[in-house]
Chain A
Amino acid sequence: MMPRTALPLIAAALLAAPAYADEAKLARGKYLVTIAGCNDCHTPWKMGAQGPEPDMSRMLSGHPQDFALPPAPKPEGPWTVSAAVTNTAWAGPWGVSFTANLTPDRETGLGKWTQRNFTETIRTGRHMGRGRPILPPMPIPMYKHFTDADLEAIFTYLQSIPVVKNRVPEPLPPAK
């Protein structure tokens, strides 16, 4: 027989378990986002005392909407790709791509996305799993090997970060 006093303890532990699981998932997500380099491209860079660094006040909010760029240099010779100073816009043979807003803003970020939308985006390389192709340099060919659990952790964390309203421009097709 189990001592009666143990029952409430066990019940409490069982109730608390999901909370611990969520916390572990969040921590794992934060860790993966950090080491997989998402900030390198999705957080605009600014000039700091030590040189260029990600501007964490705009963490993961993508290419800044008010940063208008002149036409990209023509991709020529072995130098086929060029990047803007923010490291959020790239020109190459695919045209021009701008990094997406990964914050949970409902209109301009991933706020309306479901876990399924996110997982299918990374697995298929299509916007929300069924839209236009996701362009370079987003490392889809590598990231599609994340496990389902990792993609869940990453998405859980992304949905918890501060909202930044920033409407990233549409990509431009290659010049004809």
Chain B
Amino acid sequence: MRVLALLLRVLALLWLAGAAQATPPPPQHLDDTGLFEAGSSTAVRPENLAFAPQYELWSDGAAKRRWLYLPPGASIDASRPDAWEFPPGTKAWKEFSQGRRVETRLIERLPDGAWRFVAYVWNAEGTQAVLAPEAGIAALPVAGAPRGRYTIPSRSDCLACHEGAEVPLLGFSALQLARELERLAASGRLRNLPASLLASPPRIAAPSESARAALGYLHANCGHCHNHTGPLAATGLAFAQQAAAPQASAERTLHSLSSAGTSVDVVRRVRSSNPYVRMPPVGVSLIDAKNVALIESWIRHDLRLPLEPYP
């Protein structure tokens, strides 16, 4: 018995070692990641599903496109509606344009279940995108970007946002794809989604459309770092909304804003151009004026929280 167990363990270890070795490094060129048809840098393969979250992250006004790939026959397990389980082999791309295509990011779930984050930088002609260095690029000259400079985040910056929530994929979720859920479930690529969420698509709990938009903005721009389960939970700010518990998550957000000085601090930080104060602390150099006004007005008029004094 014992010998057999030992043998099995050795075999398992060998298999694991093999699997670890089998993970090749990320391709040098975006062309080799499976996004486009062979020989093309524009025609997206039909098996890559285009998607758009209903609440977007502000990225200095960049235009963005996104796609998801699941391996043949594999599907997403949605038993936990706010923490979907993606199969190994899943890939997601996000393309950023500032006047022209500048960057395409890729998140991939590897065979061992680990997640890998990389970025590809487009040449000025838009014909080829090459793997960016691990440290990112602080100031890439791009005529259409604010002040003519574009920042490619480092891989550790990807983790700052993408590993602060329960699942690294942030925009492909029940709440973000509310209106698409039925189609996804019908395609067989999404399993075990609670029937109640199919019957009535998830919606942020709010008394008005502007309040819902404000909560949605905080969810997409802050909730991946500031939530009640992740590494910053103890700081007491909870901005993530949940498809399975809309009321409770909205209340948590209102509660965290109501503690002394927090609403003032939120507004001060989202409208600050000081990089040491501004929120979010990564990925932004230009203030999102329209949505800052939305947050400010929601806090002042809907929540009736005092906003004075801020500098």
Q: Which residues of A contact B (CB under 8 A)?
A: 95, 112-114, 116-117, 120, 123-124, 126-133, 135, 170-173
Contacts and interface: CB of A to CB of B under 8 A. Distances in A.
B231 interface: yes
Contacts of B277: 132, 170
A123 B160 CA distance: 12
Contact of A114 (B156, B231, B278): B231
Given A124-B156, A124-B160, A130-B164, A170 B234 contact: no
B310 interface: no
Contact of A120 (B231, B274, B278, B281): B231
A113 B282 CA distance: 20
Name the 3 nearest CB pairs between A and B, nearest first. A130-B160, A112-B234, A132-B281
Contacts of A126: 156, 160, 281-282
Contact of A129 (B231, B234, B235, B276): B231
A171 B231 contact: no
B119 interface: no
A134 to B, nearest CB: 10
B102 interface: no
B161 interface: yes
Contact of A113 (B156, B161, B234, B278): B234
Contacts of B132: none
A175 to B, nearest CB: 12
A128 B276 contact: no
Contacts of B281: 126-127, 130-132
A117, A130, A133: most-surrounded residue (chain B CB, <10 A):
A130
Interface residues of B, number: 17
A116 B231 contact: yes
Contacts, number: 48
B231 A117 contact: yes
14 contacts: A112-B235, A116-B231, A117-B232, A120-B231, A124-B159, A126-B160, A126-B282, A128-B232, A129-B160, A130-B164, A131-B281, A132-B275, A132-B278, A173-B274
A159 to B, nearest CB: 13
Contacts of A129: 160, 231
Contacts of A112: 234-235
B225 A130 contact: yes
B138 to A, nearest CB: 11
Nearest to A123: B156
B282 A130 contact: yes
B234 A95 contact: no
Contacts of B156: 123-124, 126
Contacts of A127: 281
Contacts of B232: 117, 128, 130
A112, A132, A133: most-surrounded residue (chain B CB, <10 A):
A132
Nearest to B274: A173
Contacts of B161: 130
Contacts of B231: 114, 116-117, 120, 128-130
A132 B231 CA distance: 15
